[in-house]
Chain A
């Protein structure tokens, strides 16, 4: 069976005064129907741009998708007309953004912001849309839906607003939901609730989920497969368990050490990845992680490693020393200790 979503060699760049930023620099991955795939990486690694590129929501100018195909249900989204693309957005693919405080329109009621999606894509009348909105708000675990629908975003807490965003994403029974750091802006206790809710709903309704996060701790619990991004590329990918236990890229190893724990305040990071993320306008021909890599060798400066299969089945890494790393670091017990149960 073909994958639900197949991204091949996707490139997105921004032309700015300081030069061209290759925010997404040739990523390839797929998502099967009903599965949850995590995209992990530091801030600025191109996770959001990669996600927005799927829906062709990159602000142009300064951004442009320059290359690649995004097959969704067999159709290449990159070749659709703007009108065809619009019919995919919000209907077949739902999106949940990082900032619940600013992602809802402050002057429209919650109800209106849910029903308009239904009216747009389903052509239903207001009453039908209203009934479905009540159902959706109940589904995302908000009590007293009828009252809530009449309220405005500022009257709801951050967690509540994110639930509304999820309800909007769910409205038209999408096949795929893309959640861009849906919990980063929320309280630690709320974070877990929202993640549980998304896991529960996508499993129950058979919706595929791309969950973007910079927290590898989230991944093991919620994702089937993981793509680790660094400087606009996927540097490691594979089953969540495998990435977690036997990481094969030095960046993944460093990330695992920096996992914040859900049971501790957010400030109590273990060990942030050392060094600065690279300047995306001036990458050289070598491995982009090289300046921060403990394992770098001469070959790493000469050319850029490609994402290739490792000795672990299903696991790929873009590192010349991927297979050596297994013996150099052993399993990742130390990092595991910091992960949520």
Chain B
């Protein structure tokens, strides 16, 4: 078991190196660069000398492998340099935008899970009841609805409802206030985006819960539990859910990483200044350093979620724990 954990953790290192090399190369394959965009943004022609000067300032005139090792060495020291666009440290740029994104992602996944697991379970236990039909429709809807559309629609609904009932249209605030400073203002800002990204998440979790639960309920050990005369609650909670949750845990962990993709879209729709939006700007500006840092952050989140899932799985499933 300990060997397994160590192996699993060590495997993270080559993954990170590979990802770093990939993003470094891909960014430089896109035509143009940050200097061209910065100097050309006025619309007129620009001086090649100015571009060369800009390249020199940003260290882009150095051989590419020097730049690469510079980048890698930076990663090792947790130094991601300064943004090529704003000139501010990359960490400052990201740090300022992290709280809102993190809160939306966490709130979205907590809401999704808290709704999905009980509903998925009930839907499996009462197969073909009206509840089951509702859950299945809800889940199909979640998978079929694009999050940007859901975001726009939910905004419109809020606008319409508030203008109808309150007389004046109300929009969620767009400047971030930490939860502990003003909980109501904070929640009124993040709740809609959280629901928007959480819907899909909860839909797939619900489907997974339902299908594994249906499968588990047909297992021989459930029949044994019934033959032992255990009360229904115990059969479900102790015998069925423990087994059914194994694949669901995996799904929840993996899908959390995918929320970052959802953030990019959702933050655009709700006009929020989060990491997702920063990502879009960084790519548009061809801001190598910032984009690289953001991609590395995403990779780390992915790898970390995978690692947590694997360890959690091993902890939950004695067949892995003791092998």
Q: Which residues of A contact B (CB under 8 A)?
A: 55, 57, 59, 86-91, 95, 97, 99, 102-109, 116-117, 120-121, 152, 154-155, 165, 168
A108 and B238 within 8 A (CB):
yes
Contacts A97-B220, A116-B234 hold; do A154 and B318 have CB atoms under 8 A apart? yes
Complex-state Cα separation, A256 to B278, whole angstroms: 80
Q: Can you list 15 contacts pairing A with B, beta carbon distance less than 8 Å?
A: A90-B227, A90-B230, A91-B229, A97-B223, A103-B221, A103-B223, A105-B239, A106-B317, A107-B242, A107-B317, A109-B318, A116-B238, A117-B229, A152-B318, A154-B319
B281: min CB distance to chain A, Å: 47
Per-residue CB contact flags for chain B residues 195-237 toward chain A (1 = under 8 Å, else 0) read: 0000000000000000000000011110111111111001000
B239 and A55 within 8 A (CB):
no
Per-residue CB contact flags for chain B residues 235-260 toward chain A (1 = under 8 Å, else 0) read: 00011001100100000000000000
Q: Which residues of B contact A (CB under 8 A)?
A: 218-221, 223-231, 234, 238-239, 242-243, 246, 316-319, 322
Complex-state Cα separation, A89 to B229, whole angstroms: 5
* B323 (CB) vs chain A CBs: closest residue: A154
B318 and A106 within 8 A (CB):
yes
User: Among the interface residues B219, B229, B316, B318, which one has the most CB atoms of the partner chain A within 10 A?
Assistant: B229
* A56 (CB) vs chain B CBs: closest residue: B226
* B217 (CB) vs chain A CBs: closest residue: A59
**Beyond known contacts A108-B239, A117-B230: 9 more, CB 8 A cutoff:** A57-B226, A88-B229, A89-B228, A97-B227, A102-B219, A105-B225, A105-B239, A116-B230, A120-B230
A172: min CB distance to chain B, Å: 9
B229 and A86 within 8 A (CB):
yes
Nearest 9 CB-CB pairings of A with B? A90-B229, A89-B229, A90-B228, A152-B318, A102-B220, A95-B227, A105-B221, A103-B220, A117-B228
- Across-interface contacts of B322 in A (CB, < 8 A): 152, 154-155
Complex-state Cα separation, A88 to B230, whole angstroms: 11
A120 and B228 within 8 A (CB):
yes
- Across-interface contacts of A88 in B (CB, < 8 A): 229
B81: min CB distance to chain A, Å: 48
Complex-state Cα separation, A88 to B225, whole angstroms: 13
B225: min CB distance to chain A, Å: 7
* A82 (CB) vs chain B CBs: closest residue: B232
A120 and B234 within 8 A (CB):
yes
A102 and B221 within 8 A (CB):
yes
A86 and B221 within 8 A (CB):
no
B249: min CB distance to chain A, Å: 12
A116 and B228 within 8 A (CB):
yes
A53: min CB distance to chain B, Å: 13
A164: min CB distance to chain B, Å: 11
Complex-state Cα separation, A103 to B228, whole angstroms: 12
Complex-state Cα separation, A121 to B230, whole angstroms: 8
B319 and A106 within 8 A (CB):
yes
A89 and B227 within 8 A (CB):
yes
- Across-interface contacts of A95 in B (CB, < 8 A): 224, 227
* A155 (CB) vs chain B CBs: closest residue: B322
Contacts A97-B220, A97-B223, A116-B238 hold; do A107 and B316 have CB atoms under 8 A apart? yes
Complex-state Cα separation, A168 to B228, whole angstroms: 8
- Across-interface contacts of A121 in B (CB, < 8 A): 229
- Across-interface contacts of B218 in A (CB, < 8 A): 59
User: Among the interface residues A86, A90, A105, which one has the most CB atoms of the partner chain B within 10 A?
Assistant: A105
Complex-state Cα separation, A168 to B223, whole angstroms: 14
Complex-state Cα separation, A91 to B318, whole angstroms: 28
B227 and A104 within 8 A (CB):
no
Complex-state Cα separation, A116 to B234, whole angstroms: 9
Contacts A106-B243, A107-B317, A107-B318 hold; do A97 and B224 have CB atoms under 8 A apart? yes
User: Among the interface residues B223, B239, B246, B322, which one has the most CB atoms of the partner chain A within 10 A?
Assistant: B223
Complex-state Cα separation, A106 to B230, whole angstroms: 17
Complex-state Cα separation, A59 to B227, whole angstroms: 12
- Across-interface contacts of A155 in B (CB, < 8 A): 322
Complex-state Cα separation, A99 to B238, whole angstroms: 21
A104 and B224 within 8 A (CB):
yes
Contacts A97-B220, A152-B318, A154-B318 hold; do A107 and B243 have CB atoms under 8 A apart? yes
Complex-state Cα separation, A120 to B13, whole angstroms: 50
Complex-state Cα separation, A103 to B219, whole angstroms: 8
- Across-interface contacts of A103 in B (CB, < 8 A): 220-221, 223-224
